Amino acid sequence: MNIERVVASIDRATRDLETPLIQRIREHLHRAQTRLQRELRPAYASNLGAATANFESRVFREARARALITQLDAAIQAIDVSAPGAGVSRVLQQSILEGTAEGARQAKTLIREAERTFGVTPPASLAPALDLRAIQAQVDGALQRLNRYSLEAIEKVNDAIVEGLVAGRNPTRVAYDVRTAITGDPRARELLAPGIDSRGRKRLMLRKGGLAFQAETIARTEMLSAVNASRMSEYTAAGVQHVVWIATPDEFVCEHCGGRSGRTYRLEDVIIPAHPRCRCTSLAVKKEWLDDGLITRDELSEHRSTVLRAYREEHGPDSRFATGPSAFERANGRDTAPSPVNL
């Protein structure tokens, strides 16, 4: 088995699944941002002119700004990604359904290849049927988080209008602040860029991408969760007890996943995705598969070396992987990282 080819294939499938959802989020926020800017600019300029001409105090300017926000309420509320009119809910549900099916397909492909290698006829179906209630619960949870970040963005827009009018900022500056709250800093080309963290280490830092970045992070993570949960369900139904953690070996590999990639873990110890925007996957493994060369130990060793090289090219030759739990492991009450096992 060529591990890098498998990783590349899974990564392509994942990107194909997330594309319609990400596109829908971007289209909605672009329309909402364009509408708000179209209504905000002339109204703000008019109010700023009146406040300046009348030498209004801070109190009067704040009152004027609140009245302006009320006037623009429909356009401001249209930012909400979770609202029914945004159309994100339907696409999110479809993505999770397709992600669940894709995870099952990936697991079945690997398991059937292995079982045929050992002369065993694989069952037609492994895992139980889709749990539609669980899928809807996942969609509802994602929409709640999207709504929370939408409300935060709306509050930032309102603050930009109030602070701008009180300080006498020009319409262009306020328009910039509004755009940053919704679709991110227009001067930033990418949402991930090299930077220095609080401890002085070189890291890929998340730029302030506004609501768009938060919404895309939630969408991608939920879809990946569906893929991996379905894959794990298939593994469990097939009697698989161990998996190999596999990270995508490029400059975006994180300090948690990089250290685990290519190592074997008990299935119940693995939480993938391990953090927001995690792109890891897991491969089912059994001792007899390793002994008979379906997956070779040399391949796993080479994969670990490839991931380490990619990580150190980005973070420096002396950089080390993290040894503690990841964000989602901590969220699930784990105080330590999973321990690898030898088969």
Percent of the residues in the chain that have a pLDDT greater than 70, as a whole number: 88
Mean pLDDT of 303-326: 90
DSSP code of residue 243: E
Judge whether 239 and 289 are in contact, CB under 8 Å. Answer: no
pLDDT for position 118: 60
17-67 tens-digit pLDDT:
888 999 999 999 999 999 999 999 999 999 999 999 999 999 999 999 999
Pairing of strands 242-246, 264-266: antiparallel
Sheet of 264-266, strands arranged across? 264-266, 242-246, 281-285
Q: What type of residue sits at position 338?
A: P
Q: What percent of the chain has pLDDT over 90?
A: 51
Q: Show the beta-strand stretches assigned E in the chain.
A: 192-196, 202-206, 242-246, 264-266, 281-285
Instruction: Please enumerate in sequence order all residues whose Cβ is within 8 A of that of 159, keeping only pairs 6 or more positions apart, or say none.
Output: none
Token couple for 292: 């008979």
| pLDDT at site 316 | 86
Sign of CA dihedral 14, 16, 17, 20: positive
The pLDDT confidence band at residue 201, using thresholds 50, 70 and 90, is very low
What pTM was computed for the model?
0.83
Residue 197 has pLDDT above 50, yes or no: no
According to the model, what pLDDT value does residue 188 have? Answer: 58
What's the pLDDT at 256?
A: 92
Q: Are strands 242-246 and 202-206 parallel, antiparallel or unpaired?
A: unpaired
User: Does residue 119 surpass a pLDDT of 70?
Assistant: no
Q: What is the C-alpha separation between 142 and 150, in angstroms, rounded?
A: 12
**For the residues 231-238, what does the mean pLDDT come to?**
89
pLDDT per residue as tens digits for the range 159-175:
999 999 999 999 999 99
Residue 287 has pLDDT above 90, yes or no: no
Distances, alpha carbon 71 to alpha carbons 54, 58, 109, 202, 216, in Å: 21, 20, 57, 46, 29
pLDDT at 187: 66
CB 329 within 8 A of CB 274: yes
Average pLDDT of the residues of the chain: 86
∠ CA 204-302-230, rounded to 5°:
70
Please report the pLDDT score of residue 199 as a whole number.
44
Residue among 72, 40, 32 nearest 183 (CA): 32
% helix, strand, coil for the chain, step of 5:
65, 5, 30
Q: Which of 53-62, 121-130, 224-233, 247-256 has the lowest mean pLDDT?
A: 121-130
Tallying the residues shown for the chain, one arrives at 343
pLDDT of residue 186: 64
Where exactly are the structural domains of the chain?
Answer: 3-239, 241-343
Q: Please give the residue that has the higher pLDDT: either 6 or 146.
A: 146
pLDDT value for 104: 87
Q: Phi/psi at 220 (nearest 5 deg)?
A: -65, -40
| Of the candidates 208, 302, 313, the residue with the CA atom closest to the CA atom of residue 252 | 313
Give residue for tokens 């700004």.
65
pLDDT digits (tens, 9 = 90+) for 56-69: 999 999 999 999 99
pLDDT at residue 200, rounded to an integer = 47
> In the Cβ-directed half-sphere of 88, how many Cα atoms lie within 13 Å?
31
- Asked if residue 128 has pLDDT above 70, the reply is no
